[in-house]
Amino acid sequence: MSSIDLVILGIVLEKPQSAYDIQKDIESHHFSRWTKISIPSVYKKVHQLKEKGYLASTLVKGERFAEKAIYSVTDAGRAYFETLMHTVAGQYVPLTFDFNVVITNLSKMEPSCAQALVEKLRRSIETSAEETEGYAREYADIPLVGRTIFDQQRRLYEALLAWLDTFSAQFAQERGEDHDAEHADDLL
């Protein structure tokens, strides 16, 4: 089971297309920002899905007289897509962020450095939020589901910034009252 299978089948369910067009669709919708998907893996996955009987292909005349395969979803592919949708919807939702490791280790830093790191995290989150807003404006014509994901990211960034403000104040208060690293670890 793979989220890339779900992405590819979903794109091809919208309209039959070539592997190149699928890859371009993934890039234009910025799927790599939302899920773990690498562009080089698209071609490999398309061929695997075809081998498993989830996609069918038809050769058509392409530009410059070259033939290209246009993929469509089979009945087995539609059933697999529906199974994936139910499986993924029922999975545990991890809230892992790379910066969690920084947060858990702040108590090991000098107070001024720790506060600087919190501010650096804040700037990184703000930059990510601004980029998401930019993508949302640039791709305003994307379907509602895509816009919903941009909105979800925006709300997540807002929540992270609010949490970071609260954390920063508590951390500074804790560090100011008691420099005992073990006690600061309790806060984290």
Length of the chain: 188
Residue 111 has pLDDT above 70, yes or no: yes
pLDDT of residue 171: 75
CB 52, CB 60: distance < 8 Å: no
Give the integer Cα–Cα distance in Å for 8 and 86: 16
Residue 9 has pLDDT above 50, yes or no: yes
pLDDT of residue 25: 85
Phi–psi pair at 29, nearest 5 degrees: -95, 5
pLDDT of residue 76: 97
- The CATH fold assigned to 3-89 is Arc Repressor Mutant, subunit A (1.10.10)
pTM listed for this prediction: 0.63
Query: How do residues 157-168 score in pLDDT, each as one tens digit?
Result: 888 888 888 878
Residue 3 has pLDDT above 90, yes or no: no
Query: How do residues 36-67 score in pLDDT, each as one tens digit?
Result: 777 788 899 999 999 999 999 999 987 776 88
In this structure, the number of other CB atoms found within 10 A of the CB of residue 181 comes to 10
The crossing angle, in degrees rounded to 10, of helices 111-138 and 144-177 is: 170
What is the separation, in whole angstroms, between the first and last Cα of the chain?
35
Give residue limits of the domains in the chain. Answer: 3-89, 99-187
Mean pLDDT of 98-120: 77
Amino acid, res. 98: D
Query: How do residues 24-43 score in pLDDT, each as one tens digit?
Result: 888 877 776 667 777 788 89
pLDDT of residue 1: 55
At 187, the pLDDT band (50, 70, 90 cuts) reads very low
The least confident of 11-20, 25-34, 103-112, 169-178 is: 169-178
At 177, the pLDDT band (50, 70, 90 cuts) reads very low
